């Protein structure tokens, strides 16, 4: 692998998160975020080593945001022209049925991502804006798109198909795509190495529990089930999203509660989940409320854990034999109570948590099951930025585009 760095960009509707990653050592050389783009007050936070820069200023649009990021790199370091930027890796939420792997960006790829926008109206247009702006400002570096859906592109049809009229489904792209794929892919691969096993031989359930949450079943390195569907709304209970719900609830609310489709979209995506049940979407705050005897918070935690346990049971049936059950992301890595409640009583299914090993936050990969447990229970910190950086580099190397190591180097023909 080449020496150098990859700039990873995650462009949202009003924010741009970024990280300059050393893809070999795995270190974040610098990271930051531009927030409240297009609002009256914007901000940029940039961290590089011990240096932290915060700027509060209006940021008109994504182009201004990306210019502010590049200016901050110049002021606070590291200097991008000497940091050997080999590629820019863009996180894209929805790759539809088109993208099964990361892709080198050209005009056609951008147009295809745009065409998928009806499936991800909040995310893909923002991703496209970020890609356009970054290509303009860093024209001499190859840009690569890495899709949240790609790892699940090959789901068995039995898992990806909704049981609705097949012509309607085909015409409108209604199927299960899955999300958080970069994390599920990275964690399931890494865990095999951590356990000293070949990924081809390992059956794994990954629980990615962050503010968004999803579960996957991975057989021999290939995803065979996942909890998110056509959009990231399906599946587990999340910070602000309902997860699984009877679709008829939507008709009921539209007919009887006077809610519009957009209103219900907002309700299920932003005012549901833990937030909707307890007024608190952060597990830390939820545990505090539970400790104070708050009954709503207790019910929210019960619903959250109940759903998780249903998925662990279901995916145990899907896989037949489970070698590893893996907890990752903000809640999975830090919340020993959720891990304990998830595994409690699942000994007959082969999951035996060790309470002492489980205790506390895990910054490093850690086995938290007893030796006798049929499945090894592991906490494995995810690192989506590193995964994107490595995939971006693989794509550019395969295309013979690396080696310049500078955004001032000559343009790679056709990919500027
Ligand atoms: P993520 O989306 O992966 O960044 O995860 C964010 C979520 O992780 C937060 O909303 C919290 O619910 C959870 N979280 C972070 N730190 C802790 C902690 N120390 N204990 C429990 N939950 C945590």
Confidence at residue 81, expressed as pLDDT on a 0 to 100 scale: 85
The answer to whether the CB of 331 is under 6 A from ligand 1 is yes
The answer to whether the CB of 329 is under 6 A from ligand 1 is yes
* pTM for the whole structure: 0.94
Q: Known binder of ligand: residue 331?
A: yes
Q: Closest Cα to atom 19, ligand 1: which residue?
A: 334
Residues 298 and 374 both lie in one domain: yes
Total count of domains within the chain: 2
Residues 350 and 201 both lie in one domain: yes
Q: Known binder of ligand: residue 91?
A: yes
Q: Known binder of ligand: residue 333?
A: yes
Tell me, yes or no, whether 412 lies in a domain. no
Residues 286 and 392 both lie in one domain: no
Residues 363 and 250 both lie in one domain: yes
The CA distance from 44 to 193, in Å, is 37
Residues 227 and 144 both lie in one domain: no
- Measured in angstroms, how far is the CA atom of residue 337 from the centroid of ligand 1? 12
- What DSSP string describes 57-100? ----SHHHHHHHHHHHHHHHS--TTTTTEEEEEEEES--TTT-S
Q: Known binder of ligand: residue 211?
A: yes
Residues 33 and 167 both lie in one domain: yes
> Model confidence at 122, in pLDDT bands (50, 70, 90)?
confident
Helix (H) or strand (E) holding 108: helix 107-115
Tell me, yes or no, whether 413 lies in a domain. no
Q: Closest Cα to atom 15, ligand 1: which residue?
A: 330
Q: Quick: pLDDT tens for 183-231.
A: 999 999 999 999 999 999 999 999 999 999 999 999 999 999 999 999 9
The domain spanning residue 209 has which CATH number?
3.30.420.40
Residues 134 and 66 both lie in one domain: yes
Range(s) of the domain holding residue 269: 181-185+194-379
The answer to whether the CB of 106 is under 6 A from ligand 1 is no
Q: Quick: pLDDT tens for 41-83.
A: 999 999 999 999 999 999 999 999 999 999 999 999 999 888 8
The answer to whether the CB of 363 is under 6 A from ligand 1 is no
Q: Closest Cα to atom 9, ligand 1: which residue?
A: 282
Q: Quick: pLDDT tens for 147-170.
A: 999 999 999 999 999 999 999 999
The answer to whether the CB of 324 is under 6 A from ligand 1 is no
Tell me, yes or no, whether 176 lies in a domain. no
Tell me, yes or no, whether 416 lies in a domain. no
- Measured in angstroms, how far is the CA atom of residue 189 from the centroid of ligand 1? 23
Residues 162 and 15 both lie in one domain: yes
- Measured in angstroms, how far is the CA atom of residue 329 from the centroid of ligand 1? 7
Tell me, yes or no, whether 415 lies in a domain. no
Q: What is the average pLDDT value for the chain, to the nearest integer?
A: 94
Tell me, yes or no, whether 312 lies in a domain. yes
The CA distance from 390 to 168, in Å, is 38
Residues 355 and 220 both lie in one domain: yes
Q: How far is CA 265 from CA 23, 67, 231, 248, in A?
A: 38, 33, 12, 14
Tell me, yes or no, whether 90 lies in a domain. yes
Residues 389 and 375 both lie in one domain: no
Tell me, yes or no, whether 319 lies in a domain. yes
User: Residues with catalytic annotation?
Assistant: 148
Q: Quickly count: other Cβ atoms within 10 Å of residue 23's Cβ.
A: 26
> Model confidence at 13, in pLDDT bands (50, 70, 90)?
confident
Instruction: Tell me: pLDDT of 2 over 90.
Output: no
Say if residues 34 and 59 touch (Cβ distance below 8 Å): yes
Residues 396 and 291 both lie in one domain: no
> Model confidence at 403, in pLDDT bands (50, 70, 90)?
low
Residues 367 and 388 both lie in one domain: no
């Amino acid at each position: 692998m080449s020496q150098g760095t990859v700039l990873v960009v995650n462009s949202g509707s009003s924010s741009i998160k970024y990280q300059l990653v050393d893809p070999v050592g795995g270190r974040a050389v610098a990271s930051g975020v531009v927030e409240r783009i297009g609002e009256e007050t914007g901000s940029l936070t940039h961290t590089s080593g011990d240096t932290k820069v915060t700027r509060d200023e209006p940021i008109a649009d994504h182009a201004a945001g990306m210019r502010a990021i590049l200016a901050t790199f110049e002021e606070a370091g590291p200097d991008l022209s000497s940091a050997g930027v080999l590629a820019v890796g863009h996180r894209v939420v929805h790759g539809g049925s088109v993208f099964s792997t990361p892709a080198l960006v050209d005009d056609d790829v951008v147009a295809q991502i745009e065409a998928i926008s009806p499936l991800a109206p909040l995310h893909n247009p923002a991703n496209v804006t970020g890609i356009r702006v970054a290509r303009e400002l860093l024209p001499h570096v190859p840009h690569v798109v890495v899709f949240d859906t790609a790892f699940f592109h090959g789901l068995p049809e039995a898992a990806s198909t909704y049981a609705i009229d097949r012509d309607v489904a085909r015409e409108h792209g209604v199927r299960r795509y899955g999300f958080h794929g970069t994390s599920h892919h990275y964690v399931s691969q890494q865990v095999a190495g951590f356990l000293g096993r070949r990924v081809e031989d390992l059956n794994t359930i990954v629980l990615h529990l962050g503010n968004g949450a999803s579960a996957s079943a991975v057989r021999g390195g290939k995803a065979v089930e996942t909890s998110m569907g056509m959009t990231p709304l399906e599946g587990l209970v999340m910070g602000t999203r309902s997860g699984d719900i009877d679709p008829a609830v939507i008709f009921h609310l539209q007919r009887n509660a006077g809610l519009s489709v957009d209103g219900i979209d907002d309700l299920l995506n932003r005012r549901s989940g833990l937030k909707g049940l307890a007024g608190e979407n952060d597990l830390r705050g939820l545990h505090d409320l539970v400790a104070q005897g708050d009954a709503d918070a207790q019910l929210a935690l019960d619903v959250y854990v109940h759903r998780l346990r249903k998925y662990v049971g279901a995916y145990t049936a899907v896989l037949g034999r489970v070698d590893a059950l893996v907890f990752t992301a903000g809640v999975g890595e830090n919340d020993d109570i959720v891990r304990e409640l998830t595994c409690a009583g699942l000994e007959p299914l082969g999951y035996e948590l060790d309470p002492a090993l489980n205790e506390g936050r895990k910054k490093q990969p850690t086995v938290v099951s007893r030796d006798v447990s049929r499945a090894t229970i592991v906490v494995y910190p995810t690192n989506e930025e590193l995964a994107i950086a490595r995939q971006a580099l693989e794509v550019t190397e395969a295309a013979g585009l690396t080696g310049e190591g500078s955004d001032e180097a000559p343009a790679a023909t056709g990919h500027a």
